[in-house]
Amino acid sequence: MGRKILFITTDEQRFDGLGCYGGKVARTPVIDTLAAQGIRYSRAYNQNVTCMPARSTMITGQYVNTHGVYRNGYALPEEDPSIVGYLKNQGNYRTALIGKAHWQPMADHSSFEASAADKGTHGPYRGFDYVSLAAHSAHPYRAMLHYNRWMIDEHKEYVECFYPPVGPKNGPNNLRGGETNAIQVHFNGCPKSFYHTEWVADQSLDWLKSLGQDDDWFLWVSFPDPHHPFDPPQSELGRVNWRDLDLPPGNPGNRKKIEEILKQKPKHWLDFYLGKVDVAEETPDDFVPVTMTEDNIREINAMVHIQNELVDEAIGKILRYIQGRGWDSETDIIYTTDHGTTQGDFGLMFKGPFHVDGLMRLPLIWRPAPMSGISNGGITIDDPVGQVDLAPTFAEIAGLEQPPWVEGTPLQYTTNPDRDSVFCQWDSEKNGLEIRLKSIFDRSGFLITAYEKTNYYSGSEGELYDLNDDPHQWHNLWDDPHFKVKREELLEKVKHQTPVPRSPALERRART
């Protein structure tokens, strides 16, 4: 009998939305307790700031160039390496995924993920014995997932309560609502007990109840929240009053200051803010950030904080069951997200080709199984780590040799000076405009982003920030002669750490 693994992910959650990372609005006592009992990584970064590339890195342990899922709409081939399959085949683990998967485009109805519910199947898939899938809505507007099927079959009267899908198939979602007429804010009349966060927790409990007491298991609990649209159950809106919120610290406070800051950055920043170009695939197509009011930002943030609280409480249900089964001492718990969001920083909302801490920096908490003797709790590791390190960590927890295809290294539980930097990339095209970014966060506290030559950039542009003095990334040091040596040093790291691209390249199959 080995150690059991509970892997919990959210979608689009900022690190600073949690109390253990300095968050002061959402109450997250369950997650905060995991951090107090285990290891909190203060400088964890993703390898891409959108859903499908990030999730492909988590399951393969590979960088984006290697697995080839550059953006949403590329399907990770089912025959590609899976750390879950490795645990199952080499470690005899029982395996399950409950919630959001997103290794295949939701709009590709020939794929397993988009067709499983209609076919009445729950796997196997990518090494998972069992999957039960959900996304951000009860509406099956992109695909009929298991949660959609359940809502339609059991609680049809509440399906229309969710943020409504609008526009052409797979098109923009530009409806506004709430009290401030904010983008993608919606009052949702669905009861909390039928909301997808609760459903994911309940489905997770059902699977755990099917296991034998001595089974080794890997359960990936993948909450769709707090990803937009912003429509938690209306019954929960009293948790956070948007009128009581300040603007986020990363918001300069007025349009003049925003434009002054964005003018220091490469041109797509200001052009996107003003609505001159649309280069952000993960943003509603008709959304122009400059039109967003301060109250819009406050109301959206309130909705996000409510979603964060609901996730925290749902995790508590799962942990109480594990404790009741007597499994806690032998269960490793790892908590993280796929990427963050701007959430008002720089006057922006949502995500896109912006390599900033709000999007790249992740909450990452590891509560080792108490039986392992690894941690007495309350440890903070400041070394740079990444999502690419999750798969090798799972292998190590299971007591298995490292699979030959992983490119990360197991997470450490003491400071490791060899953890020098962490790499992230963006390779995308929208409306005919190409943007390709390669970034390094260095343990000295500097973040550099190099821009490749495309039809939009010459290749000489870039960003350089000293996060020790400028945590909001308002002062671009790229052209500052005092930082030329540091810039060249970090550019060499970017060049050295960029993996060879997958060949032949994958083809994009859908938009989302």
Q: How far apart are CA 440 and CA 442, in angstroms?
A: 6
Note the pLDDT of residue 359. 98
Q: Is the pLDDT of residue 402 over 70?
A: yes
- Residue 157 pairs in a beta bridge with none
Question: Which of residues 172 and 36 earns the better pLDDT score?
Answer: 36
Q: Is the pLDDT of residue 168 over 70?
A: no
- Residue 9 pairs in a beta bridge with 222, 336
Note the pLDDT of residue 1. 65
Percent of the chain at pLDDT exceeding 90 = 92
pLDDT level of residue 454 (50, 70, 90 thresholds): very high
Region 485-489 average pLDDT = 98
Q: What is the CA radius of gyration of the chain?
A: 21
HEC per residue, 302-354: HHHHHHHHHHHHHHHHHHHHHHHCCCHHHEEEEEEECCCCCCCHHHCCCCCCC
Region 384-400 average pLDDT = 98
Q: Is the pLDDT of residue 169 over 90?
A: no
**DSSP class of 7:** E
* Residues 351/49, Cβ–Cβ less than 8 Å: yes
Region 338-350 average pLDDT = 97
Region 6-13 average pLDDT = 98
Could you state, in order of their start, the residue ranges of all structural domains in the chain? 4-497
In this structure, the dihedral spanned by the alpha carbons of residues 145, 149, 151 and 156, taken in order and rounded to 10 degrees, is 130
CA nearest to 114, candidates 95, 138, 141: 141
**For 245, phi and psi rounded to 5 degrees?**
-90, 145
Residue 244 CB: number of other CB atoms within 10 A? 9
Note the pLDDT of residue 167. 59
- What is the overall mean pLDDT for the chain? 96
* Residues 210/321, Cβ–Cβ less than 8 Å: no
Q: Please, what sign has the CA dihedral across residues 242, 247, 250, 256?
A: positive
pLDDT level of residue 141 (50, 70, 90 thresholds): confident
Region 260-275 average pLDDT = 98
Asked which of 86-95, 237-246, 334-343, 367-376 is least confident by mean pLDDT, the reply is: 367-376
Strand residue runs (E) in 338-397 = 361-362, 364-367, 379-381, 385-386
Residue type, 457: Y
Structure tokens that stand for 103 in this block: 């290794």
Q: Give per-residue pLDDT as tens, 174-227.
A: 899 999 999 999 999 999 999 999 999 999 999 999 999 999 999 999 999 999
Task: Please tell me the CATH code under which domain 4-497 is placed.
Answer: 3.40.720.10
Q: How far apart are CA 183 and CA 372, in angstroms?
A: 47
Note the pLDDT of residue 510. 78
